[in-house]
Amino acid sequence: MNWKTIGHIDDIPLRGARCIKTPGMNIAVFRTSENEVFAIENRCPHKAGPLSEGIVHGKSVTCPLHNWVISLENGMAQGADEGEVRTFEIRNEDGLLSILLDQPMMVAAE
Ligand code: FES
């Protein structure tokens, strides 16, 4: 496991997301209205909608395609919907963000 620097929190709009492309998958890094940062797989468990383009509310995101609500904390679909996406640990050091990835060179920086 390796920490990879991915930029500053100010690079992510409030209640928005930034997308990180890796060879394995695309990851969406979200910033909540409370300035918390979460990273999850950028692929809705329903029909692969781009969660990074969804609406952030509280610690959840609503998928832009069919409105499933996904927890940013544990990647689980909320309510009656079933499914989950992978989550990634984020470190925030004075606004400088790093993500914990399982392959050293996984991030092909954007
Ligand atoms: S693809 Fe996300 S709700 Fe359908």
* Ligand 1 neighbour 17 (Cβ under 6 A): no
Instruction: Assign domain 2-101 to its CATH superfamily.
Output: Rieske [2Fe-2S] iron-sulphur domain (2.102.10.10)
Atom of ligand 1 nearest to the CA of 67: 3
Q: What is the pLDDT of residues 8-53, one digit of tens each?
A: 999 999 999 999 998 888 999 999 999 999 999 999 999 999 999 9
Q: What is the whole-number distance in angstroms between the Cα of residue 70 and the centre of ligand 1?
A: 10
Q: Which atom of ligand 1 is nearest to the CA of 44?
A: 2
Domain residue spans of the chain: 2-101
On whether the pTM is more than 0.85, the answer is yes
CA distances from 57 to 19, 25, 40, 98 (A): 18, 24, 15, 23
Q: What is the pLDDT of residues 87-97, one digit of tens each?
A: 999 999 999 99
Helix or strand holding residue 92 (H, E): strand 90-93
Distance from Cα 55 to the centre of ligand 1, integer Å = 13
Centre of ligand 1 from the C-alpha of residue 15, in Å:
19
Name residue 67's amino acid: N
Which tokens hold the place of 29?
């890094």
